[in-house]
Amino acid sequence: MKGTFLFDFDSNTDASAWRVVNDGVMGGLSKGDFAINDAGHGLFKGEISLENNGGFSSVRYAFESKDVSTFSSVKIRLRGDGKAYQFRVKEKSGQRHSHIADIKTSGQWETISVQFSDMYPAFRGRLLDIPNYSGAAMTEIAFLIGNKKSEKFALEIDYIELQ
């Protein structure tokens, strides 16, 4: 089955639908930014601060609910900085928890595949006792970094595709 792009970045991409949410919502001081770089990729970068109980930055893309039941995974082409990130999905608009896949980047361009059934539910860093992602619907995707370290980060994203 041919994949369907959730987002395919290029130099003409309007990044305004992507919004950064940092730990400032809880008093933290981390800083994240998202823009289209000269190569036409989405670039999520910034610096994590642990001050004031901080420690995370995320970039989120919300959209009208999509029926994704004919797919079983997401394929992402990205280049990280060797750090760990989370790829997150929300199934319903207004849903508080996310379904999460942990991603360890290599520092090189790579294509990763995330199986829907492997995405575990969590809210504010706590695992929830509910089923993993059903893969029925999707209304938001996000990337988050929060490794319990003060550190700079950079994640470059080429595309995100349903498979």
Give residue 95's pLDDT: 94
Give residue 123's pLDDT: 96
Q: Quick check: 2 pLDDT over 80?
A: no
Domain CATH code at residue 28: 2.60.120.260
State the pTM of this model: 0.96
| H/E stretch holding 14 | none
- Left, alpha or beta for 24 (phi > 0: left; psi -120 to 50: alpha)? alpha
Provide the H-helix boundaries in the chain. Answer: none
Domain count, the chain: 1
116: nearest Cα among 131, 95, 127, 94: 131
Boundaries of domain holding 91: 4-162
C-alpha 152/C-alpha 163 separation (Å) is: 32
Distant-in-sequence, close-in-space partners of 97: CB < 8 Å, separation ≥ 6: 90, 121, 122, 123, 128, 130
Tens digit of pLDDT for each residue in 40-60? 999 999 999 999 989 999 999
